[in-house]
Structure 1
Amino acid sequence: MKIKLAAFLLGAMFAVTAVAADKQLRIGTLAPKNSLYHRQLMDLGEAWRTAQGGSAKYLVYPDGSQGGETDMVRRMRIGQLQGGLLSVVGLREIEPSIAALQNMPMMFRSWEEVDYVREKMRPAMEKRFLDKGFIVLAWGDAGWVRFFSKEAAFAPNDFKKMKFFAWGAEADQQEIMKSLGYTPVPLETADILPAIQTGMINAVPSTPYFALATQVYTTAGNMLDLNWAPVVGALIITKKAWDELTPEGQASVREAGSKAGVQLRAKARQEVDEAVEAMKKRGLTVNRPNPEQMKEWSALADGLYPRIRGKLVPAEQFDEVVGHLKTFRATRK
């Protein structure tokens, strides 16, 4: 139950313009055209290309024009794309262990916890991607998943009468939802707005920024004020494209990506808060669960973990996240 906008701008401009003049790097993304992420990606990419002084070309395909994230991974494998700005939904098609950063609802309580766990797990994660032919250039996130719905809803049972958007490729997740009494409707991102307008669905798990950028909130005008799960993402390119860079170009990409990651994660989180305020001014209703309802949500999450461990998230990485969070919280007491 998640939507996958990740930190789309985190470094594509660096990889794109470091290729030789006769090369192109084609990047796929679900980021809406002219959204904050797309505009910054294009602006920063052009600035970097100019600084390089060459004629290297880059192409960014926004709006999911190259298909869903599963499609983009397939295109990278056959050489139609060289890179992708993906959420965990796409990244797990390459390396399943990445799901530990996103597919554990209500496991993370703050961005500090997300950052801590990601940094602890990052070296091993990046090595696994490398072994499968992909280079992780930068990590990012795009906000917390909230539930947007046509009708007001506060407790888990309130959503059982609704039809949920679900990623078409997430069969295991749909199976879990059905077993709990929920109704998933498998779709792709481009189908969300028309589907909710026509009544095919009436609930969308989404980050606030995505709901604002795509105007989903104008039809689904209720948002549950509950941080269900973080949307975590990364910019990746194929090892083949990486190997075509000069050693100097690779060094520049690594350094620029490291610096950009910190700055752009902060910007993305700021934009999420601003998106909620902007939607509230335009009529969004924010519904806050009371303490009893929060207990129900916590109980739902606790009941999900045994179903998720070993299925949506490999058992080893599930346990690793739990261990890191235990350490983090012990040191913060």
Structure 2
Amino acid sequence: MSFFRSLLAATLLATLGLTPATEATAQVTLKIATIVPDGTDWMATLRATTDEIERRTEGRVNFKIYGGGVQGNDAQVRRKMRVGQLHGGVFTSGGLRAFLPEAEIYALPMLFRDYDEVSYVRERVDQLLYERLDEAGYVTFGFAGGGFAYLISATPLDTRESMQGVKVWIPEGDKVAVAATETLGVSGVPLPLTDVLTGLQTELIDTVMGPPVGVIVMQWHTVMNYLTDVPLAYVYAGLLIDKRHWNKIAAADQALIRELMTDIYRGFDAQGIADDQASLEALAEEGIETVRVSDTERAAWAQQFAAARSASANAGVVNAELLETINCHLRAYRQQTSERCSD
């Protein structure tokens, strides 16, 4: 099972501990929590990498990995990080917001049209977000994309009119999902990830917005019938380490950890694109029917979401300066110009 299959199988929370350290020589044990169970490719890769770090640091840096969600959800892991019971975690975009509001910005609805746009912008903006996370007290080894979120529903949804009366699941505390449902004019029902399948089975909700890989892993497709072919939001995750614990690690060992963890995160990111396409095909094979949205309707949605993004920026919900930087890069890419964009 790949990284994002594992991540969205239960909403990841995982990784190590970090900040610009003073020279440290004492043994450091980094406590990592994740919902991903052992037996997955992601956990195998993580454990192999941490084993290599332990070997190459001659035991100066060790890891305690808590798999299978035994340490709780995003909020619970975050609280345990705050008091030092845990030292790090991997969070999807909605979870990243609690550490740095603008870290969620790539997930704004219909910000990107495709992966080429995502890659173009991320090459120019990722480092800025890493630096701001560092200033906020956290080190990250990269973001891993998990595909685009689509509407998966019990009835076909291809216009705003067809959405009237539907009940869409939104993750608890996810402001981007709330904004998306409000823009589409539908009712959002906040639920924990673990309650979504039951909510679908009992008709508490009848629609989800999620990436195909997550839909399959969580078995939501077993009670759904349709996928609306508009990629609504880019889904990604970031691995964060509390710098209070990172500072206890010697500089040379920090460099080694950065090298190895950044390398596997690049692999997770690349695998996410392949997983997304494979999962779309798998949903079709499972009988999920693709609902085509007309160009006119799609353009109307894009216009509505663009207006909603601007309104959120004006209201201070979204970092206006960073959003304009991303919009500038998107204009340059779409128009093939050399427009200079501020950092």
Cα offset, 1:36, TM superposition: 4.8
Partner of 1:147: 151
One-letter amino acid matched to 1:168 = E
Q: How many residues align?
A: 324
Number of the residue aligned with 1:319: 324
TM-score (ref. length: structure 1) = 0.84
Alpha-carbon contact 1:100-1:321 (below 8 Å) kept: no
Partner of 2:186: 182
Q: Could you state the TM-score of these two structures normalised by the residue count of structure 2?
A: 0.82
Residues 1-333 of structure 1 correspond to what in structure 2 (within 5 A)?
A: 5=8, 12=15, 23-31=28-36, 34-46=39-51, 49=54, 54=59, 56-63=62-69, 65-103=70-108, 105-170=109-174, 174=178, 177-178=181-182, 181-309=185-313, 310-331=315-336
Report how far residue 227 of structure 1 moved.
1.0
The SS at the match of 2:164 is helix
CA contact (8 A) 1:196 1:219 kept: yes
Q: CA shift at 1:305, angstroms?
A: 2.1
Structure 1: 5+ residue stretches without partners:
none
Structure 1 residues 275 and 172, CA gap change in structure 2 (3 angstroms) = closer
Q: 1:304 to 1:265 in 2, by over 3 A?
A: same
Shift of 1:203: 0.8
1-side partners of 2:37 and 2:195: how far apart?
13
Amino acid at match of 1:166: I
- Classify 1:306/1:80 alpha carbon distance in 2 versus 1 (closer, same or farther; 3 Å): same
* Sequence identity percentage: 24
Higher deviation after alignment, 131-140 or 31-40: 31-40
The aligned amino acid for 1:116 is Y
The alpha carbon displacement at 1:224 in A equals 1.2
Equivalent pair of 1:94/1:132 in contact (CA under 8 Å):
yes
How many angstroms does 1:319 deviate by? 1.1
Structure 2 residue matching 1:161: 3-state secondary structure: coil
